[in-house]
Amino acid sequence: MSDVATRRPKQDWVAWHAAYDDPNSALSWRLAVIQARIRSVLDGLPDGLIRAVSLCAGQGRDLIGALVGHPRRGDLSGRLVEPDPHNAAAAARLVRESSLSRIEVVTADAVGTVGWQGSSAWRANGLVAVRTGSTSASTSLPGCPPGG
Ligand SMILES: C[S@@+](CC[C@H](N)C(=O)[O-])C[C@H]1O[C@@H](n2cnc3c(N)ncnc32)[C@H](O)[C@@H]1O
């Protein structure tokens, strides 16, 4: 096979999240930057309902973590899309523990239509779209940078 992508080892997206356990890891620093960026976007949105869509959501630590203590958290509804069942379950647990009852987690591939069924996110006025990349998604979602 000549396609480089087909020779790429399969990424373990559950193991990938383990680096978050070390607060000094590069991944933890990256997470802090992303959360700060999300909070800054929320700060700038007008009053009213905010809908959020997180593709490649993983365990939801970026979006859900950014909402901790944020004054707009009560205005947020939306959806996290993550195909790995373990990560999706961890995201759902985080959502539940954070009492964000209007955020749902869908275990699905963001590339297909399943992850979008029943969602009205794209019709929102205030939309926060979080897409913090992945190697596999980058091949099918244009603009999703490899490696997150
Ligand atoms: C780099 S991690 C980022 C996780 C999270 N956004 C974060 O920053 O903590 C990428 C995640 O995208 C998921 N993913 C890979 N391909 C996907 C696809 N086609 N649709 C949705 N999610 C996908 C993986 O399972 C993995 O959990």
Residue 146, domain member (yes or no): no
Q: Please give the residue range of the domain that contains residue 64.
A: 14-138
Residue 8, domain member (yes or no): no
Residue 103, domain member (yes or no): yes
Each residue's pLDDT tens digit, 29-76: 999 999 999 999 999 999 999 988 898 999 999 999 999 999 999 999
Given its phi and psi angles, is residue 75 left (phi above 0), alpha (psi -120 to 50 degrees) or beta?
Answer: alpha
Mutate to test the pocket of ligand 1, among 11, 27, 136, 141 (most ligand atoms within 8 A of CB): 136
Each residue's pLDDT tens digit, 104-134: 999 998 886 665 666 555 444 445 555 554 4
60 lines ligand 1 (CB under 6 A): no
Cβ pair 69, 35 in contact under 8 A: no
C-alpha neighbours within 13 Å on the C-beta side of residue 4 = 2
Domain of residue 34, CATH code: 3.40.50
Partners of 98 in the β-ladder: none
- The SS3 assignment for 132 reads coil
Most distant CA pair in the chain: distance in Å?
53
Cα–Cα dist 124/127, whole Å: 6
Residue 82, domain member (yes or no): yes
Residue 26, domain member (yes or no): yes
Residue 7, domain member (yes or no): no
How many structural domains compose the chain? 1
